[in-house]
Amino acid sequence: MAPNVVAFLYYTVQDLYDQHKDPRIAHLPLTGGMWGVALVIIGYLAFVLHFGPKWMEKRQPFKLKFVMQLYNVVQVVANSLLFVYGVYYSLLQPSFSLSCQPVEHDNTTPQMMRLIYASYGYYLLKYLDLFDTVFIVLRKKNSQVSFLHVYHHAGMIFGVYVYMTFLAGSHCTMLGVINLFVHSVMYAYYFASSLGAVKHLLWWKRHITQLQLLQFGFLTLHFLLVIVRNPCQFPVLISFIGFIQNIFMFAMFFDFYYKTYIRKAKAAAETATDSKAQLS
């Protein structure tokens, strides 16, 4: 019974892939099928949640300051360039609609193909992002490997894979463009803090989280647009998934923001008030 169910699911997924795949990107690595992507995600989860911490258990933390500085510089440069490129070939093109951009597998205009290749660069960066967690594990900072952190990285790999394979150049494009900007700022902060400037940039860290909240808020409304009104016939199911996913991410990031910046500030203020009362 079980083998038959597995076989049925396999062939169902394969049929859906064959029917709806985008022929414009079928030749690009990591877009030709989901099994390679699945292996990467499974390997990532296995390493950061089990094998990595177990392997580091009796070892000293790795000193990765220079490696991480180089990594942050690469991230800033790559995300910034792709952000500018993405904005130019999407928002600044009269043929691109911010309110409802259709799925057009037959659109092979030079502008669209450049946007698709920029999107592919963004897709590859999601694999590079996985090293964030690898560095955490190798430095034995396991408390930083939170559910939000791991879910976000693994989920982005799968989500952008779906976009590249079936929805390239469509309404979902804004997710990547905005995320590229956020990551440019975030990795610039990481690089600056690694140089010892963190004391002068604590205010920046809080605003990065606020920027992420704005990102999820905007994308929630962006997907809601084509649920309420859909003149370009964008897949409503995809819009609904994007809408729910961004609400979920907003809620998780807001929970982190509240606990880190609002609740702690209230506790500190109450402590200060109590201290003054005792002194008086």
- Which positions are catalytic? 152
Give residue 44's Cα distance to chain centre.
Answer: 15
Q: What is the spatial distance between Cα 242 and Cα 248, in angstroms, rounded to a whole number?
A: 10
Going by C-beta distance under 8 Å and a sequence separation of 6 or more, which residues neighbour residue 187?
72, 75, 76, 79
Nearest CA to 90 out of 122, 61, 58, 66 is that of 122
DSSP string, 104-116: -TT---HHHHHHH
Distances (CA, A) of 121 to 80, 128, 181, 254: 12, 11, 14, 29
Nearest CA to 237 out of 257, 223, 216 is that of 223
Give residue 239's Cα distance to chain centre.
Answer: 17
Q: What is the spatial distance between Cα 177 and Cα 204, in angstroms, rounded to a whole number?
A: 21
Q: What is the spatial distance between Cα 107 and Cα 103, in angstroms, rounded to a whole number?
A: 9
CB 169 within 8 A of CB 112: yes
Distances (CA, A) of 167 to 80, 102, 170: 23, 9, 6
Q: In the chain, what is the straight-line distance between the N-terminal and C-terminal CA atoms, in Å?
A: 77
